[in-house]
């Protein structure tokens, strides 16, 4: 697993680039493959300045396109179209691809220019959570009192905690030197060791942009600048609008002179101020309006002795240029070793990087967001590559999901239905499904074979050869026979059929595993920061103790299949030995049976839901339990309880519920509700593919 971190800030001008530099240098010392990732970059042809600095200084063996998630223009389009989750998915997909290639990945949060500031904080926390990164948050202490700094820190910590973020540390940057002691003492008292923090003083060298920063940020043309001239620091800027005699009185040391390119008087007077002993030395000239000095003036300048005053040019008018310059802060360029050395010295003095790295190495997030879980599903299914049969080949949602599955290379697919009708539907929807096999059960050459096998399986129930021949033309029976005979790894149905229409063929043909007394179901409940397993919420109305034990064991195996450590809570209206009665006794007996059959499982029962999920309640009701307060698999005593509970959690907590997934069958056949979305179908197909390669449902 790679080491990763997300560096974000609460405002522009926080000095976040200083922290990025310090952490990237720390990563670079490891000798492992490192990378930098930006969720969003500005639209346009120019390379992102932060990423360009990383590429030039650290030379990662990665294409530029792999180092960012999305452009700001694409992000705005998706957000405005109500496709925020699609934006998060696109960024997650690119991050995961980068993470798979690198040992350490540093992500740089947005900088309050690429999307609406109103969305900025939530966007950064959503990204950090979905990438599974602990957050190193940078706060500016500039222009603030000690109490204001402390209030900012506590507000940010509360906000990050409310959004379920893993906080690595808080860096309070750009604090005036005289306030360092008071801010540190105040934060020590307020945070009381609960959150790691560092206080970094303001630095005049880092706060001011260099000539090179101006040129890079504004896309300026350099008319005469040599490389070392670009590292000169800009202390202030002056807009030249007066006649030369009046203007000269306003020049200060390190001034950037912003002037229209046709003001020859100002240009020549400013240049001559540099060698003059009577005026301060300016840093650079910035010519506006896309104008150049007259040829005679240019010739005069070229004939002067060389002195280090860079002359830059931009296309924008003087007012716009001045506004753009005013918005800039100090950033880094790889060639500016002086500024980089100052920055690293400041970071190393203020931040214990060794301790921070140690804390980062121990900060292995267990958070699993719905998008992370979905990405993992698709990735695992892609690796396994099996064929899934979809009986409802003319259903619009099925076809749209099929296109997504094929475009992402998740699984091979077979659609059932009238070939002409299905093809016409595909064409009408404008989908790309040329490589998908379509089979009409009524005319398929497999019909005779399937009829013979079905007759052998069901003749003891009075099924004649002719009845078998007719039955297998039903898409649910035909699809189930494909799975039974190995022509498909699994089947996904029910989008347009009833539960019984699909489950009956599975019971008759595929049947249960030898060690399982019952077919049951689970829902994968994707909470904001974890995934829980709920069972049985869809199939069995009132299982007995043995059946309930088998449901618990099957659900634990399903959890393991999808990377969830099973800690099983067998739910009832009482916890431990406190309750009596028929219903609680059933659960108590089921727990005993399950422990006997699978002593390796972590299992508790009977236990109430609050004691199973809430550590505080668990401490009071069942102290010392391996399951109480941290359960991941919840087994409900009957269908009435399970179905109502999963729907209540789904609707009240805005939880993504994937399922129901059938378990206990020899081969996977899975469910879709008739109100399912395209995303539900995609996820269920991926799950079925994983089940197929894992040896059954």
| C-alpha span between 257 and 503 (Å, rounded) | 79
Tokens 């001008």 label which residue? 13
| C-alpha span between 605 and 559 (Å, rounded) | 18
Domain 514-664 grouped into CATH 3.30.360.10: no
Question: What is residue 365's predicted lDDT score, i.e. its pLDDT?
Answer: 64
Question: What is residue 171's predicted lDDT score, i.e. its pLDDT?
Answer: 95
Spatial CA neighbour of 69 closest among 36, 46, 101, 45: 36
- For the CA atoms of 647, 653, 659, 662, the dihedral, rounded to the nearest 10 degrees, stands at -70
Provide CB contacts within 8 A for 114, sequence distance 6+.
Answer: 40, 41, 42, 72, 75
Class of domain 368-511+666-697: alpha beta
Which run of H or E residues covers position 535? Answer: strand 531-535
Q: Tell me: the pLDDT tens digits for 493-519?
A: 865 555 566 678 888 899 888 878 888
| C-alpha span between 247 and 263 (Å, rounded) | 12
330 alpha carbon, distance to own chain's centre = 29
CA angle 576, 651, 135 (to 5 degrees): 85
Q: Do 514-664 and 368-511+666-697 have the same topology in CATH?
A: yes
Both tokens assigned to 49: 């300045």
Class of domain 211-329: alpha beta
Question: What is residue 69's predicted lDDT score, i.e. its pLDDT?
Answer: 94
Question: What is residue 335's predicted lDDT score, i.e. its pLDDT?
Answer: 65
For residues 663 and 558, is the Cβ–Cβ distance under 8 A?
A: yes
Both tokens assigned to 218: 């504004």
| C-alpha span between 26 and 169 (Å, rounded) | 15
Fold for domain 3-206+340-362? Rossmann fold (3.40.50)
Question: What is residue 196's predicted lDDT score, i.e. its pLDDT?
Answer: 92
For residues 38 and 108, is the Cβ–Cβ distance under 8 A?
A: yes
| C-alpha span between 366 and 375 (Å, rounded) | 16
Question: What is residue 230's predicted lDDT score, i.e. its pLDDT?
Answer: 75
Q: Tell me: the pLDDT tens digits for 281-290?
A: 888 889 998 8
Q: What is the pTM of this model?
A: 0.72
Question: What is residue 88's predicted lDDT score, i.e. its pLDDT?
Answer: 93
* Domain extent listing, the chain: 3-206+340-362, 211-329, 368-511+666-697, 514-664
pLDDT-flagged residues of the chain (< 70): 1, 112-118, 205, 207, 225, 305-307, 327-331, 333-336, 363-366, 494-502, 695-697
Question: What is residue 62's predicted lDDT score, i.e. its pLDDT?
Answer: 92
For residues 32 and 103, is the Cβ–Cβ distance under 8 A?
A: yes
Question: What is residue 170's predicted lDDT score, i.e. its pLDDT?
Answer: 95
| C-alpha span between 426 and 434 (Å, rounded) | 9
**Please, what's the largest Cα pairwise distance for the chain?**
113
| C-alpha span between 99 and 381 (Å, rounded) | 19
Spatial CA neighbour of 274 closest among 283, 286, 262, 265: 283
Question: What is residue 207's predicted lDDT score, i.e. its pLDDT?
Answer: 66
């Amino acid at each position: 697993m790679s080491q990763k971190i997300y560096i974000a800030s609460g405002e522009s001008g926080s000095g976040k680039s200083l922290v990025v530099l310090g952490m990237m240098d720390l990563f670079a010392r490891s000798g492992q493959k490192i990378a930098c990732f930006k969720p969003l970059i500005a639209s346009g042809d120019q390379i992102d300045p932060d990423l360009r600095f990383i590429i030039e200084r650290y030379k990662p063996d990665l294409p530029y396109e792999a180092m960012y998630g999305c452009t700001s223009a694409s992000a705005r389009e998706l957000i405005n179209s109500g496709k925020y989750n699609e934006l998060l998915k696109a960024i997650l997909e690119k991050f995961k691809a980068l993470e798979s290639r690198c040992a350490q990945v540093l992500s740089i949060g947005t900088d309050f220019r690429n999307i609406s500031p109103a969305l900025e904080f939530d966007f950064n926390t959503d990204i950090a959570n979905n990438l599974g990164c602990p957050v190193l948050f940078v706060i500016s202490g500039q222009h603030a009192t000690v109490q204001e700094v402390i209030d900012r820190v506590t507000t940010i910590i509360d906000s990050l905690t409310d959004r379920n973020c893993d906080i690595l540390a808080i860096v309070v940057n750009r604090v005036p030197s005289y306030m360092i002691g008071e801010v540190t003492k105040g934060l020590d008292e307020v945070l009381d060791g609960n959150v790691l923090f560092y206080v970094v003083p303001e630095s005049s060298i880092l706060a001011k942009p260099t000539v090179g920063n101006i040129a890079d940020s504004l896309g300026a043309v350099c008319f005469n600048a040599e490389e070392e001239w670009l590292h000169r620091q800009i202390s202030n800027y002056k807009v030249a609008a007066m006649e030369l005699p009046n203007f000269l009185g306003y020049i200060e040391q390190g001034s950037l002179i912003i002037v229209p390119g046709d003001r020859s008087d100002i240009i020549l007077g400013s240049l001559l101020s540099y060698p003059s002993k009577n005026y301060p030395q300016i840093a650079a000239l910035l010519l506006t309006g896309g104008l150049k000095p007259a040829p005679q003036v240019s010739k005069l300048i070229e004939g002067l002795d060389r002195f280090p005053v860079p002359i830059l040019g931009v296309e924008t008018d003087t007012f716009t240029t001045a506004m753009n310059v005013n918005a800039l802060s100090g950033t880094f360029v790889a060639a500016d070793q002086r500024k980089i050395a100052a920055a690293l010295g400041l970071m190393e003095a203020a931040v214990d990087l060794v301790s921070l790295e140690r804390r980062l190495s121990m900060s292995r997030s267990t958070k699993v967001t719905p998008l992370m879980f979905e990405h993992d599903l698709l990735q695992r299914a892609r690796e396994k590559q099996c064929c899934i049969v979809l009986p409802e080949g003319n259903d619009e949602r099925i076809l749209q999901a099929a296109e997504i599955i094929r475009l992402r290379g998740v699984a091979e697919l077979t659609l059932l239905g009238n070939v002409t009708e299905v093809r016409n539907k595909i064409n009408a929807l404008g989908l790309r499904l040329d490589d998908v096999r379509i089979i009409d059960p009524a005319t398929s050459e497999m019909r005779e074979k399937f009829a013979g096998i079905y007759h052998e399986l069901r003749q003891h129930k009075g099924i004649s050869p002719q009845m078998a021949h007719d039955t297998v033309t039903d898409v649910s029976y035909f699809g189930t026979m494909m799975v039974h005979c190995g022509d498909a790894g699994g089947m996904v149905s029910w989008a347009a059929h009833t539960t019984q229409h699909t489950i009956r063929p599975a019971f008759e043909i595929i049947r249960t595993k030898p060690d399982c007394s019952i077919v049951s179901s689970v829902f994968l409940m994707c909470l904001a920061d974890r995934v829980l397993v709920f069972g049985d919420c869809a199939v069995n109305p009132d299982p007995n103790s043995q059946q309930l034990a088998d449901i618990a064991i099957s659900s634990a195996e399903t959890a393991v299949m999808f990377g969830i450590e099973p800690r099983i809570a067998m739910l009832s209206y009482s916890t431990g030995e406190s309750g009596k009665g028929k219903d609680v006794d059933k659960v108590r007996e089921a727990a005993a049976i399950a422990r006997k059959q699978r002593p390796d499982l972590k299992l508790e029962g009977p236990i109430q839901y609050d004691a199973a999920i809430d550590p505080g309640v668990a401490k009071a009701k069942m102290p010392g339990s391996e399951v109480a307060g941290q359960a991941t698999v919840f087994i409900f005593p009957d269908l009435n309880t399970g179905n109502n509970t999963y729907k209540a959690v789904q609707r009240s907590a805005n939880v993504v519920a994937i399922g129901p997934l059938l378990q206990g069958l020899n081969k996977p056949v899975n469910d879709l509700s008739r109100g399912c979305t395209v995303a539900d179908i995609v996820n269920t197909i991926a799950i079925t593919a994983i089940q197929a390669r894992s040896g059954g449902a």
